[in-house]
A and B are shown apart, each in its own frame.
Chain A
Amino acid sequence: MANIFPKWSNTVPLKIIFAVLLLGGAITAGVTYYFTPKYSRVGYMPIQPVAYDHSLHVDQLGMDCRYCHTYVDRSEHANIPDAGTCMNCHNQILPDSPKLAPIRASYESDQPVEWVRIHKTPDYVFFNHAVHVNRGVSCVECHGQVNEMKEVFHAKDHSMTMCLECHRNPEKFVRPLDKVYDLDWKAASEEAQLKLGKKLVHEWDINPPESCSGCHR
Chain B
Amino acid sequence: MRYFITIFLFISIALVSILGFRGSKSRKPPLEIFPDMDRQYKFLPQTANPHFSDGRADRPVVPGSVEFGSYVRDEFYNTGKIRGQFGHGFPSPIYVNREFMDLGQKKYNITCAVCHGQTGDGNGITKSYGMVATPTYHDDRMRKMTNGEIFDTISNGKNNMGAYKSKLSIKERWAVMTYLRALQRAHNPKPDDISSEKRMELGL
Contact (Cβ within 8 A) B38 A122: yes
Contact (Cβ within 8 A) A41 B30: yes
Contact (Cβ within 8 A) A44 B22: no
Contact partner of A79 (CB less than 8 A), chosen from B36, B46, B109, is B46
Contact (Cβ within 8 A) A33 B22: yes
Indicate if B201 sits at the interface (CB-CB under 8 A).
no
Indicate if A38 sits at the interface (CB-CB under 8 A).
yes
Contact (Cβ within 8 A) A44 B8: no
1/0 contact string of B160-201 vs chain A (CB within 8 Å): 111100110000000000000000000000000000000000
Smallest CB gap from A61: residue in B: B125
Contact (Cβ within 8 A) B161 A88: yes
- Cα separation A88 to B130 with both chains bound (whole Å): 13
| Smallest CB separation, A195 vs chain B (Å) | 26
Contact (Cβ within 8 A) B125 A42: no
Contact partner of B130 (CB less than 8 A), chosen from A39, A44, A66, A93, is A93
Which residue, of A66, A76, A79, has the highest number of chain B Cβ atoms within 10 A? A66
Give the chain A neighbours of B22 by CB distance below 8 A: 33, 38-39, 42-43
- Cα separation A39 to B30 with both chains bound (whole Å): 9
| Smallest CB separation, B60 vs chain A (Å) | 9
Contact (Cβ within 8 A) A92 B160: yes
Indicate if B31 sits at the interface (CB-CB under 8 A).
yes
Give the chain A neighbours of B132 by CB distance below 8 A: 92
Chain B interface size band reads 35 or more
- Cα separation A159 to B176 with both chains bound (whole Å): 40
Contact partner of A84 (CB less than 8 A), chosen from B24, B39, B162, is B162
Contact partner of B129 (CB less than 8 A), chosen from A44, A91, A93, is A93
Mostly helix, strand, loop or mixed at chain A's interface?
loop
Indicate if B19 sits at the interface (CB-CB under 8 A).
yes
Contact (Cβ within 8 A) B111 A67: yes
Give A1-36 interface residues, CB cut-off 8 Å to B: 15, 19, 22-23, 26, 30, 33-35
Contact (Cβ within 8 A) B130 A92: yes
- Cα separation A75 to B67 with both chains bound (whole Å): 13
Indicate if B45 sits at the interface (CB-CB under 8 A).
yes
Contact (Cβ within 8 A) B15 A122: no
Contact (Cβ within 8 A) B46 A77: yes
Indicate if B101 sits at the interface (CB-CB under 8 A).
no
Smallest CB gap from B40: residue in A: A123
- Cα separation A46 to B28 with both chains bound (whole Å): 7
Give A58-94 interface residues, CB cut-off 8 Å to B: 61-64, 66-67, 70, 75-77, 79-80, 82, 84-85, 87-89, 91-94
Contact (Cβ within 8 A) A112 B56: yes
Contact (Cβ within 8 A) A37 B30: yes
Indicate if B156 sits at the interface (CB-CB under 8 A).
no
Give the chain A neighbours of B26 by CB distance below 8 A: 43-45
Contact (Cβ within 8 A) B8 A92: no
- Cα separation A39 to B131 with both chains bound (whole Å): 43
Contact (Cβ within 8 A) A93 B131: yes
1/0 contact string of A91-115 vs chain B (CB within 8 Å): 1111000000000000000011000
Smallest CB gap from A122: residue in B: B38
Indicate if B63 sits at the interface (CB-CB under 8 A).
no
Contacts A43-B25, A61-B126, A93-B130 known; list 11 others, CB within 8 Å: A15-B1, A39-B19, A39-B22, A44-B26, A46-B27, A85-B167, A91-B160, A92-B126, A93-B131, A123-B38, A123-B40
**12 CB < 8 A contacts A-B:** A35-B33, A38-B22, A42-B22, A61-B114, A63-B125, A64-B110, A88-B161, A89-B129, A92-B130, A93-B129, A122-B38, A123-B39
B contacts, CB < 8 Å to A: 1, 4, 8, 12, 15, 19, 22-33, 36-40, 42, 44-46, 54, 56, 109-111, 114-115, 125-126, 129-133, 160-163, 166-167
